[in-house]
């Protein structure tokens, strides 16, 4: 299968995962920049992750989960994975 342009490469699982991260972040009262800082992820990359525009690496999933105080499995569970 040919690679689709990054602007069009939105998988529904990535979109749902990003939405779960955003929901948790907002519930904690964190800005996107603050979460990115706590997770040691570039702020612009965090925005792309939350919008489902970028695939999330295993290490970034761990960093995000630690930064928002949950287990990675909880994030996957929220999106039905």
pTM: 0.84
CA distance linking residue 52 with residue 77, whole number of Å? 17
The pLDDT assigned to 11 comes to 85
Which tens digits make up the pLDDT trace of 6-51?
A: 555 568 999 999 999 999 999 999 999 999 999 999 999 999 999 9
The pLDDT assigned to 15 comes to 94
Q: What is the DSSP letter of 54?
A: S
CA distance linking residue 46 with residue 27, whole number of Å? 17
pLDDT of 78 above 80: yes
Residue 70 near residue 21 (C-beta atoms within 8 A):
no
Arithmetic mean of pLDDT, 58-64: 96
**CATH code of the region 12-78:** 1.10.260.40
């Amino acid at each position: 299968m040919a690679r689709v342009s990054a602007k069009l490469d939105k998988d529904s699982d990535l979109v749902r995962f990003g939405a779960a991260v955003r929901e948790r972040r907002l519930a904690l009262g964190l800005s996107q920049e603050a979460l990115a800082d706590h997770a040691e992820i570039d702020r612009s990359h965090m925005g792309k992750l939350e919008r489902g525009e970028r695939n999330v690496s295993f290490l970034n999933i761990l960093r995000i989960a630690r930064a928002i105080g949950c287990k990675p499995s909880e994030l996957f569970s929220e999106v039905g994975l």
